[in-house]
A and B are shown apart, each in its own frame.
Chain A
Amino acid sequence: MASGLTVIFGVSRIVNFAHGSFYMLGAYLAWTLVTSLPRGHLGFWGGVLGAALLVGVIGLVVEMLLLRRIYRAPELFQLLATFGVVLVVQDVALLTWGAQDLLGPRAPGLRGSTEILGLRFPLYELFLIVVGPVVLGLLLLLFHRTRWGTLVRAATQDREMVGALGVNQRMLFTSVFFLGSVLAGLGGALQLPRESVNLHMDLAIITEAFVVVVVGGLGSLSGAALAALLIGELHAFGILVFPKITLVLVFLVMAVVLVVRPHGLRGKPQPAAHGVAAAEPMIGAAPRALKLAGAVGLALAVALPPFLGDYALTVLTEIAICILFAASLHLIMGPGGMASFGHAAYFGLGAYGAALAATWLGVPMLGGMLLAPVLAGIFGVVFGWFCVRLSGVYSAMLTLAFAQIAWSVAFQWVEVTGGDNGILGVWPDAWAAGKLTYYYLALALCLGGTLLLRRVVHAPFGYALRAQRDSALRAEAIGIDAFRIRWWGFTLAAVAAGVAGGLFAYGKGSVFPTYLAIPRSVDALLMVLLGGVQTLTGPIIGAIAYTGLQEQLMRLLEYWRLVLGAVIILLVLFFPQGLAGAARAMWERRHGDA
């Protein structure tokens, strides 16, 4: 599984969320094939292999139809596109196989168990232990002994050069993607006799695979194997020694590895891509038309709500909160030039800060709302110190890891956080209990916060953030401490997300671990990317569009993920600059570039 991911990433430099979906599809397809084919060796093994190949073909189609068009796009867009695929696949799987867990048959011939040194081992587990190294060995052979493998390794090091030497890169990428997908499918199919097949396999495995790949070093097969072993051992021993914090343990190891060896155990620094990156656009004062539109929007947001029902007010409150959440992420992604896959951590920490203050300390609402950004900020300082030391994908992975740590603590520390059941009864004080009052409070705080962030972007600090993004060399040469600037930028974003989280907690009246989970981080990413990273208006429009879209789709359609995923994919293909970016380009075209 991880080897599939690392191969794909190494060559195409596409960060692929959909890999988890391929893994899940492998398991589902294997279930279908194995249960419909005649029983026996042929049925089972044929089914497993068939599933792997089918997944490979699906991967092939996805690559040719979608990814091929966006290899030149920024990494984050590729990520967004693959996440669209994840959503689509989830609903297709739901449509095809239903929501309940499916149990697969045991593998024929490997049903029993055997005793080794007095311990009982299921035969199938032993078989898997053998299969792993065998597949790894085959891959190593493939990469080091065949012409194709040599080309792939060459492309990993320098894509353009390989192209210049007359190699058909497209075919190469497609074949690599096929292989990666087959491996993912095989991984999923082989899990069939071990555990039930369900719809949560994709995100669960992708997190783990990301960890393995990052710990091992991107593009390094042996590194991935080493890391897989390490993480596997940690899981096994962790359960014996610290049963409660195995998740934390795994991610702590990842954090330590990344800080000590920023490129993973066996990885090398990513070679810089050739060619000059397109200059980031400037940030100027908003044009008159935009200011006018903003004023009208604000007037409507203030004037209309008294005439709206409770449901509409709830949605509007949520949108206001999402705007601040998206704007805070935008600060680190746009001007800061850092990607965060785990921004929900600070949103959730804010929510938990408020909820814990309310339930354990009996603090009134305003106190809780004050504690929310404080808690988020403290963790922003601590986590940020690690995250901003690294760059690019590694930094993004580390933010993901920290978010996952925060999530697992919220999930596993049942005594304090209520675990999966969350904390209920976090209601606002009497004066703000009305939906309308609360909406105005949220609007004031969120718009205030968003405008403040906007102000910061125009102030020297925001310029310094952009300076270190534009040219690290020049920034250092004029005395800018990029690490410190990024660190404080990260913290500031965490604080703002904490405010949003605190508001959200009181708005919903409850807090759950899902507030910190990956899907929420992805929500924020989608809002920012949907709106456009390059403009300040982007996250605002993105938050409105995304929340509105999701809300409507969820209400109207059973299979909303399918539609949402398709919309995301289309947006990436046709509006690569996001909605605000596209609007700006259109506006500039019409008014000429005088």
Chain B
Amino acid sequence: MATLEVEGIQKSFGGVQAVRGVSFAVEPGEMLALIGPNGAGKSTCFNMLNGQLQPDAGRVRLKGRDITGLKPRQVWRLGVGRTFQVTATFGSMTVRENVQMALLSHHHRLGQLWRPVARMDAAEAEALLARLGMAGQAGRPCGILAYGDLKRVELAIALANQPALLLMDEPTAGMAPQERVSLMALTAEIARERGIAVLFTEHDMDVVFSHADRILVLDRGALIAEGAPQAVRNDPRVREVYLGSGATSGH
């Protein structure tokens, strides 16, 4: 069964149809990229998947279960990790504590009033950070971290509830080119290892064509192409609306 199934979701803002009937599915362990020019509706589409926006029509199903209309925190409980285009972390906590928060929430322990956080789920948090190459930064405050490192912290937080699906909105935006490739390679590795379905949006075509198993192309709110990287690259409609307009086409 597909991890995520999206069926004809739509969203309008005022008179503008931002997303008009988009359908697709993501399989376990698959890296699916959602691309398209600015304003194509990628972020809107994304925000409807984890409940930040409610679709006007259509269904979203996670492992067969209808999750349309649930709140983000309910969607998260069902196994969806999320990273943001502009990183959102807890600035007054260390890297380790940020990950601990997600772990504590996953274990339903946030209501506890007595035991200090310092002693709870610390080892598990350290292990996750080590997997992402952040072990050395665990004790540093999130507020002073470099942007690329923050993106890694976000990924660690998103992995804390052992998700079946990862939603990554521009996971490498603001990172140096070398960092981008290594972060996405790591993401792909973890996804395959744990059977996590990954859906990501991305502007960097290098990243997209070297790491996506499959690509969806969105233009003016509708899907115009879907398929393996090579097929999408050669699709005349994609070339017309996207690659043909002078965008960086990678290799």
The interface of chain A, by Cβ under 8 A from chain B, is 279-283, 455-456, 458-464, 466-467, 469-471, 473-481, 485, 488
| A479/B105 in contact, CB under 8 A | yes
B85 to chain A, nearest CB (A): 11
Enumerate the 6 nearest inter-chain pairs by beta-carbon distance, A residue then B residue, closest first: A279-B143, A279-B91, A474-B88, A280-B92, A470-B90, A478-B102
Q: A282-B141, A455-B114, A467-B90 are in contact. List 6 more A-B contacts (CB 8 A).
A: A281-B92, A456-B113, A470-B89, A476-B72, A477-B84, A485-B110
Q: List 30 A-B contacts (CB under 8 A).
A: A279-B142, A279-B143, A280-B92, A455-B114, A458-B117, A459-B115, A459-B116, A460-B109, A460-B117, A462-B117, A463-B117, A466-B90, A466-B92, A470-B90, A470-B91, A470-B92, A471-B90, A473-B84, A474-B88, A474-B89, A476-B71, A476-B73, A477-B72, A477-B73, A477-B82, A477-B84, A478-B106, A479-B73, A479-B77, A480-B105
Q: Is there an interface contact between B113 and A461, defined as CB atoms closer than 8 Å?
A: yes
Cβ contact within 8 Å between A459 and B112: yes
Bound-complex Cα distance A281 to B142 (A) = 10
Q: Bound complex: CA of A374 vs CA of B141, how far in Å? A: 38
Contacting pair B161 A478 (CB below 8 A): yes
Which residue of chain A lies nearest to B142 when distances are taken between CB atoms in the complex? A279
Query: Contacting A479 at CB < 8 Å: which of B76, B118, B143?
Result: B76
| Most A Cβ at <10 Å: residue of B84, B91, B115, B116 | B91
Inside 8 A of A480's CB, which chain B residues have their CB? 73, 101, 105, 110
Q: Do A477 and B50 touch across chains, with their CB atoms under 8 A apart?
A: yes
State in angstroms the CA–CA spacing of A475 and B98 once bound together: 10
Least distance between B144 CB and chain A CB atoms (Å): 8
Kindly identify which residue among B74, B93, B144, B157 contacts A463, using a CB–CB cutoff of 8 Å.
B93
Q: Which residues of B contact A458 (CB under 8 A)?
A: 116-118
Give the CA-CA distance A372 to B112 in the complex, in Å: 24
Q: Given the complex, which residues of A lie within 8 Å of B82, measured CB to CB? A: 477
The verdict on B111 contacting chain A, using a C-beta distance below 8 Å, is yes
CB nearest to A485 among chain B residues: B110
Least distance between B143 CB and chain A CB atoms (Å): 3
Interface centre among A460, A464, A467, A471 (most CB of B within 10 A): A460
Question: Which residues of chain B are within 8 angstroms of A475 by Cβ–Cβ distance?
Answer: 90
Chain B 94-128 near chain A by CB (<8 Å), digits 1 or 0: 10010011101110011111111110100000000
CA of A481 to CA of B89, assembled, Å: 16
A488: chain B residues at CB < 8 Å are 111
Assembled-state Cα–Cα distance A279/B93 (Å): 10
Chain A contacts of B109 at CB under 8 A?
460
Q: Is B35 part of the binding interface, using a Cβ–Cβ cutoff of 8 Å?
A: no
Interface residue tally for chain B (C-beta within 8 Å): 41
Tell whether, in the assembled complex, residue A282 and residue B76 are in contact, meaning their CB atoms are under 8 Å apart. Answer: no
The CA-CA distance from A462 to B77 in the complex, in Å, is 21
Contact across chains for A459 and B90 when beta carbons are under 8 A apart: no
In the bound complex, CA of A201 to CA of B89 (Å): 46
Residues of A within 8 A of B115 (CB): 459-460
Q: Within 8 Å CB of A282, what residues of B?
A: 92-94, 141, 143
B233 CB to nearest A CB, Å: 33
Measured between C-beta atoms, what is the minimum distance from B11 to chain A in Å? 19
Q: Is the CB of A477 within 8 A of B88?
A: yes
Asked if B160 is an interface residue, CB under 8 A from chain A, the answer is: yes
CB neighbours (8 Å) of A462 from chain B are 117
Q: Are B91 and A459 in contact (CB under 8 A)?
A: no
Cross-chain contact B141 with A461 (CB below 8 angstroms): no
Residues from chain A with a CB closer than 8 A to the CB of B100 are 463
Q: With the chains together, A459 CA to B64 CA distance in Å?
A: 37
A542 CB to closest chain B CB (Å) equals: 20
Residues of A within 8 A of B50 (CB): 477
B34 to chain A, nearest CB (A): 18
Smallest distance from the beta carbon of A471 to chain B beta carbons, Å? 5
A283 to B50: give the CA distance in the assembly, Å: 31
B69 CB, min distance to chain A CBs, angstroms: 15
Chain B residues with Cβ under 8 A from A455's Cβ? Answer: 113-114, 116
- B116 — which chain A residues lie within 8 A by C-beta? 455, 458-459
B59 to chain A, nearest CB (A): 22
Residues of B within 8 A of A466 (CB): 90, 92-93
Q: In the assembled complex, how far is the CB of residue B196 from the closest CB belonging to chain A, in whole angstroms?
A: 16
A478 touches which of B105, B117, B118, B141 (Cβ 8 Å): B105
Shortest C-beta distance, A463 to chain B (Å), equals 5
Q: Whole-angstrom distance between the alpha carbons of A458 and B116 in the complex?
A: 5
Docked pose: A283 CA to B104 CA in angstroms: 18
CA distance in complex: A469, B101 (Å):
13
Chain B nearest CB from A136 CB (Å) reads 32
CA gap between A476 and B72 in the complex, in Å: 6
A455-B114, A456-B113 given; A463·B104 CB < 8 A: yes
- Nearest B residue to A463 by beta-carbon distance? B117
Shortest Cβ distance from residue A490 to the other chain B in the assembled complex, whole angstroms: 15
Closest to B77 in A: A479
Whether the pair A463, B101 counts as a contact (CB closer than 8 A) is yes
With a cutoff of 8 Å between Cβ atoms, the chain B residues found around residue A485 in the complex are 110
Q: Contacts of B97 on A, CB cut-off 8 Å?
A: 463
Chain B contacts for A473, CB-based, 8 A: 84, 88
Closest to A455 in B: B114
Task: For A464, give the chain B residue with the smallest CB separation.
Answer: B110
Give the residues from 35 to 80 in chain B that come closer than 8 angstroms, CB to CB, to chain A: 50, 71-74, 76-77
User: A469 vs B161: C-alpha distance in the bound complex, in angstroms?
Assistant: 22
Nearest opposing residue in chain B for A276, CB measure = B91
- A461: B residues at CB distance < 8 A: 110-113
Indicate whether A474 sits within 8 Å of B72 (C-beta atoms), given known contacts A282-B141, A460-B104, A463-B101: no
Q: Please state if B101 and A478 are interface contacts (CB–CB under 8 Å).
A: yes
Contact A467-B91, Cβ < 8 Å, known A458-B118, A460-B109, A477-B72: no
- Is A478's CB under 8 angstroms from B76's CB? yes
- Tell whether A477 pairs with B76 under 8 Å between CB atoms, given A282-B141, A460-B117: yes
A476 to B71, CA, bound (A): 9
Instruction: Give the complex CA separation of A56 and B106 in angstroms.
Output: 57
Contacts of A478 in B (CB 8 A): 73, 76, 101-102, 105-106, 157, 160-161
Chain A residues with CB below 8 A from B84, complex form: 473-474, 477
B77, B110, B116: which has the most chain A beta carbons within 10 Å? B110
Complex contact A460–B112 (CB within 8 A): yes
Minimal beta-carbon separation of A432 from chain B (angstroms): 28
In the complex, the chain B residue whose C-beta lies closest to that of A335 is B92
Q: Which B residues touch A477, using CB under 8 A?
A: 50, 72-73, 76, 82, 84, 88
Name the one of A279, A459, A471 contacting B141, with C-beta atoms under 8 angstroms.
A279
- Give the nearest-CB partner of B88 in chain A: A474
Q: How far is the CB of B199 from chain A (nearest CB, A)?
A: 15
Please tell me if the beta carbons of B113 and A459 are within 8 angstroms of each other in the complex. yes
For B144, the chain A residues whose CB sits under 8 A away are 279
Q: Is the CB of B89 within 8 A of A471?
A: yes
CB distance from B16 to the nearest CB of A (A): 20
In the docked arrangement, what's the CA distance between A460 and B89, Å?
A: 16
Given A474-B90, A481-B73, A460–B111 Cβ distance below 8 Å? yes
Question: How far is the CB of B202 from the nearest CB of chain A, in Å?
Answer: 20
How distant is the Cα of A464 from the Cα of B111 in the complex, in angstroms? 8
Name the residue on A nearest B115 (C-beta).
A459
Knowing A461-B110, A463-B104, A477-B73, say if A283 contacts B88 (CB, 8 Å): no
